[in-house]
Homo-oligomer: A and B are copies of this chain.
Amino acid sequence: MLKYKPKVKTLPGPRSNTYLRKVKKYNLGWNHPYPFVHSGKGKGSFFEDLDKNVFLDFASQIASNPLGYNHPALIKVVKQFKNQSPVKYAGQDFTVQEHVDMIEEVLSIAPKGMNKIFLCNSGGEAVENAIKTAIRKQKGMQRAVSFRRAFHGRTLGALSNTNSSQVQKKHYPTFPVHRLPYDTRAIAFLEDMIKREAHPKDIGYVIMEGVQGEGGYNVPSKKLMKGIRRITKSRGIPLILDEVQSGMGRTGKWWAHQHFNINPDIMSSAKALQVGATLTSKKYMHEPGSISSTWGGGHRLDLLMGATIIREIKKKNLLNNITMQGEYLRKRLDEVSGVLNVRGLGLMCAFDLSSTKKRDDLVLELMKHGVVTLGCSDKGIRLIPPYTVSGEEIDMFIEALEHSLGNCNKKGFKHTGLICQYGYCARDHS
Contact = CB atoms under 8 A, between A and B. Distances in A.
A61 interface: yes
Interface string A272-291: 00100011100011111111
Q: With a 10 A CB-CB cut-off, give which of A86, A125, A280 has the most chain B CB atoms.
A: A86
A125 to B, nearest CB: 6
Given A69-B86, A100-B23, A302-B88, A29 B95 contact: no
Contacts of A75: 82-85
A118 B28 contact: yes
Contact of A84 (B78, B107, B139): B78
Interface string A146-183: 00000000111110100001011011110100000000
Contact of A29 (B20, B160, B296): B296
B104 A22 contact: yes
Contacts of A34: 93-95
Interface in A21-38: 22-23, 26-34, 36-38
Contact of A291 (B28, B116, B279): B28
A41 B84 CA distance: 7
A136 interface: yes
A90 interface: yes
Q: With a 10 A CB-CB cut-off, give which of A119, A124, A300 has the most chain B CB atoms.
A: A124
A34 to B, nearest CB: 6
Interface stretch (A127-135, A188-196, A215-223): A127-135
Interface in A45-90: 50, 59, 61-62, 64-65, 69-71, 74-75, 77-79, 81-90
A94 B42 CA distance: 15
A293 interface: yes
B28 A300 contact: no
A133 B28 contact: yes
A40 interface: yes
Contact of A26 (B37, B103, B286, B298): B103
Q: With a 10 A CB-CB cut-off, give which of A27, A37, A75, A271 has the most chain B CB atoms.
A: A27
Contacts of A136: 171-172
Q: With a 10 A CB-CB cut-off, give which of A95, A141, A274, A280 has the most chain B CB atoms.
A: A95
A167 B289 contact: yes
Contacts of A26: 103-104, 107, 115-117
A29 B89 contact: no
A33 B92 contact: yes
A53 to B, nearest CB: 13
A122 interface: yes
Q: With a 10 A CB-CB cut-off, give which of A29, A50, A270, A294 has the most chain B CB atoms.
A: A29
Contact of A64 (B31, B289, B295): B295
B62 A29 contact: no
A410 B168 CA distance: 59
A298 B32 CA distance: 15
Contact of A85 (B32, B33, B74, B82): B74
Interface string A300-314: 111001000000000
Interface of A: 16, 19-20, 22-23, 26-34, 36-38, 40-41, 50, 59, 61-62, 64-65, 69-71, 74-75, 77-79, 81-90, 92-97, 99-100, 103-104, 107, 115-125, 128-129, 131-133, 135-136, 139, 141, 154-158, 160, 165, 167-168, 170-173, 175, 204, 270-271, 274, 278-280, 284-298, 300-302, 305, 374
Q: Which 10 A-B pairs have the closest CB atoms?
A: A156-B157, A74-B85, A28-B118, A167-B289, A28-B116, A61-B90, A155-B155, A31-B288, A62-B90, A121-B122
Given A29-B291, A64-B89, A74-B85, 12 more contacts: A26-B115, A29-B297, A61-B90, A62-B93, A77-B85, A78-B81, A82-B82, A124-B293, A128-B155, A135-B173, A141-B173, A165-B289
